[in-house]
Amino acid sequence: MDKTLLRWDETLFRDMEVFEIDYVPEQFHHREVQMVDLKFQIKPGLQGCRPLNTICRGLPGTGKTTSVQKIFSQIEEGTKKLIPIHVNCQIDNTKYAVFSQIYRKLAGHLPPATGTSFKQLFDAIARILLRDEAVLVVALDDANYLLYENEMNRVLYTLLRSHEAYPGTRIGVILIVSDMSIDLVHEVDPRVSSVLRPTEIYFPPYSPEEVYSILKERVLQGFYPGVLSDEMLGLAVEQTMQSGDLRVGIDLLKRAGLQAEHDARRKIEREDICKAYEISRYLHLDFTIRTLREEEKKLLAKLAELSSRETEMNAGEVFNAVKVDLTLGYTKFYEMIRKFDAMRIVNLHYRSGRGRTRLISLRYDPARIMERLK
Ligand SMILES: Nc1ncnc2c1ncn2[C@@H]1O[C@H](COP(=O)(O)OP(=O)(O)OP(=O)(O)O)[C@@H](O)[C@H]1O
Ligand SMILES: [Mg+2]
């Protein structure tokens, strides 16, 4: 029997779980500064006071959600007097939904599906907080989803001014946003911003060295020794950096491992990684498209449409082609393009010559972008 081949009942994975999208890693490095800052913000809650309000901002895949979740589990292990609540605003994006999640955490079950008014819900929450003398810290993850329909103002107003309706209640918020262009403090009403006064914690993109060390940890935990050479890990890091999202790298490793296993090989090879990348890279596109606003989605659709004819597009010409449909000024248009560039959806570069021409090219197949926008 050929020893270089994997038997059908053998596997390259020591623990496949570590490559899952919702896996919370035990080792969590390179976010020490942000974690210290976050703890500082939350700390008054441990003394029964209101936690300081915080905005965590950074591009997709920079560890914002994980940092907050790590600190929340530490709080839960240590005390009952400060109750951390994580709300995914992509799913719960109305005032009622957010407060239902808070209620669920405090009461252990969701409020009845019908017949509970918001007032009753809030009464119940306040009663529990006052009875248990507990302080709340509420993380509104992907908070940009609350910006539509004015829900952001409603949610924040009610949370941050709870002590007016229910004296003695104390609630702090952590707003998590991956949209670098949103200026939350200016988006909310003055009566909200006067009580919000947040400190911003920035999550910079990981450097290639950091991505290398994070992926290396997963490889050591997830694969048996010898499955992935350092050279192949280097390739995976390169591709992760191209997409700018750590999630792509983690997903890519899993797919490459499965591919090698499928071909009964004991090692992951270049082809496995390249093939996996062709699928995993779209993960980043999926995550970023979900965070775009309606007008940005429209502009991206236009770019996809235009670039199926010409891959390198002149920014001025694109603007002329879209300005009527999208009712945009050039400044706003260019801001959106710069944002796409920062999100690594497009590549923005200059060609010198007569003046400096700005050129835009998509980083993804236009057809794939259109598919996702639908
Ligand atoms: N420093 C790190 N060490 C190990 N794994 C990490 C680290 N940072 C992020 N990850 C992993 O990368 C993935 C993305 O991280 P996370 O979900 O925290 O990012 P995010 O900033 O919340 O992104 P988004 O804005 O898209 O929600 C997760 O699977 C997480 O486990
Ligand atoms: Mg997140």
In tens, the pLDDT along 247-275 reads: 999 999 999 999 999 999 999 999 999 99
- How many C-beta atoms lie closer than 10 Å to residue 279's C-beta? 13
CB 135 within 8 A of CB 49: yes
Q: How far apart are CA 166 and CA 128, in angstroms?
A: 11
The confidence score (pLDDT) of residue 35 equals 98
The model's pLDDT over 307-316, given as tens digits with 9 standing for 90+, comes to 988 888 999 9
* Structure tokens given for 23: 């896996």
pLDDT of 180 reads 73
Q: What size, in residues, is the chain?
A: 374
Site to probe by mutation for ligand 1, drawn from 66, 206, 217, 291 as the one with most ligand atoms within 8 Å of Cβ, is 66
- The neighbourhood of ligand 2, an ion, using CB within 5 A, equals 65
Cα–Cα distance, 8 to 294 (Å, whole number): 48
- Residue-level pLDDT at 59: 86
Q: CA 234, CA 216: separation in Å to the nearest integer?
A: 10
Helices 246-262 and 208-222 cross at an angle (nearest 10°) of 40
For residue 1, the model assigns a pLDDT of 54
CA angle centred on 341, ends 338 and 343, rounded to 5°: 115
At residue 2 the predicted structure's pLDDT band, cuts being 50, 70 and 90, is low
Alpha-carbon span 316 to 330, nearest angstrom = 9
Q: Which of 171, 141, 55, 149 is nearest to 94 (CA)?
A: 149
CA distance 311 to 308: 7
Residue pair 30/289 in contact (Cβ under 8 Å)? The answer is no
The finding on whether 214 has its CB within 6 A of some atom of ligand 1 is yes
Q: What pLDDT score was predicted for residue 354? A: 65
What gap in Å lies between CA 248 and CA 224, rounded to an integer?
Answer: 21
Beta strands at 199-203 and 54-58: parallel, antiparallel or unpaired: parallel
Among residues of the chain, what percentage have pLDDT more than 90? 74
Starting at the edge strand found earlier in the chain, the sheet holding 313-314 runs 313-314, 355-362, 346-353
User: Which two tokens mark 212?
Assistant: 């290398």
pLDDT of residue 222: 97
Neighbours of 209 (CB within 10 A): 10
| Model confidence pLDDT, tens digit, residues 162-173 | 999 999 999 999
Closest CA to 334 of 348, 324, 353: 348
The pLDDT tens digits for 199-216 are 999 999 999 999 999 999
248 lines ligand 1 (CB under 6 A): no
Query: Residue 169 in 3-state DSSP?
Result: coil
In the prediction, which pLDDT does 181 show? 73
* pLDDT tens, position by position, 50-93: 999 999 999 888 999 999 999 999 999 999 999 999 999 988 98
**183 alpha carbon – ligand 2 mean position (Å):** 18
To test the ligand 1 pocket, which listed residue (21, 203, 246) has its Cβ within 8 A of the most ligand atoms? 246
pLDDT one-digit tens code per residue, 286-338: 888 988 888 899 999 999 999 988 888 999 999 999 988 888 899 889 989 98
Cβ of 34 below 6 Å from ligand 1: no
Closest CA to 197 of 188, 209, 185, 187: 185
Average pLDDT taken over every residue of the chain: 92
Query: Ligand 1 within 6 A of 65 CB?
Result: yes
How many whole angstroms separate alpha carbon 30 and alpha carbon 63? Answer: 9
pTM of the shown model: 0.86
Quick one: average pLDDT of 224-246? 94
Ligand nearest to the CA of 57: 1
CA angle 92, 96, 99 (to 5 degrees): 80
∠ CA 44-48-51, nearest 5°, is 35
User: Which has the closest alpha carbon to 288: 279, 300, 278?
Assistant: 300
Return the HEC string of 223-259. ECCCCCCHHHHHHHHHHHHHHCCHHHHHHHHHHHHHH
Q: Which of 16, 65, 140 to mutate to test the pocket of ligand 1 (most atoms within 8 A of CB)?
A: 65
